[in-house]
Amino acid sequence: MMPIEPNHNKLFTKIANKRFKPHGIIQQGQSRTFFNDKIWFTIIIEYQPPSFSKGTFLNVGNY
């Protein structure tokens, strides 16, 4: 029998939400995009999965 691999997306969002919520950073829907709207600026954090392997790229920006 082959071992069952964990659902990386669910694990990722669970950990990210646990770390970000105390800082007012919330998840946008079911995506890997998180944001914090401070009225006069917005912080956007995006975790982008690579197409060739497991892992993630981090994109951070503000407007």
In a domain, 33, yes or no: yes
In a domain, 1, yes or no: no
Tokens (6 digits) for 22 = 């105390």
The phi, psi pair for 44, rounded to 5°, reads: -120, 130
The H or E element containing residue 33 is strand 33-37
Q: What is the pLDDT of residues 29-61, one digit of tens each?
A: 888 899 998 888 898 999 887 777 777 888 889
In a domain, 3, yes or no: no
Count of structural domains within the chain = 1
Phi-psi region of 59 (alpha: psi -120 to 50; beta: other; left: phi over 0): beta
In a domain, 31, yes or no: yes
User: How far apart are alpha carbons 2 and 11 in whole angstroms?
Assistant: 20
Instruction: Give, as one character, the DSSP assignment of residue 55.
Output: -
Domain housing 15: 8-62
pTM across the whole model: 0.72
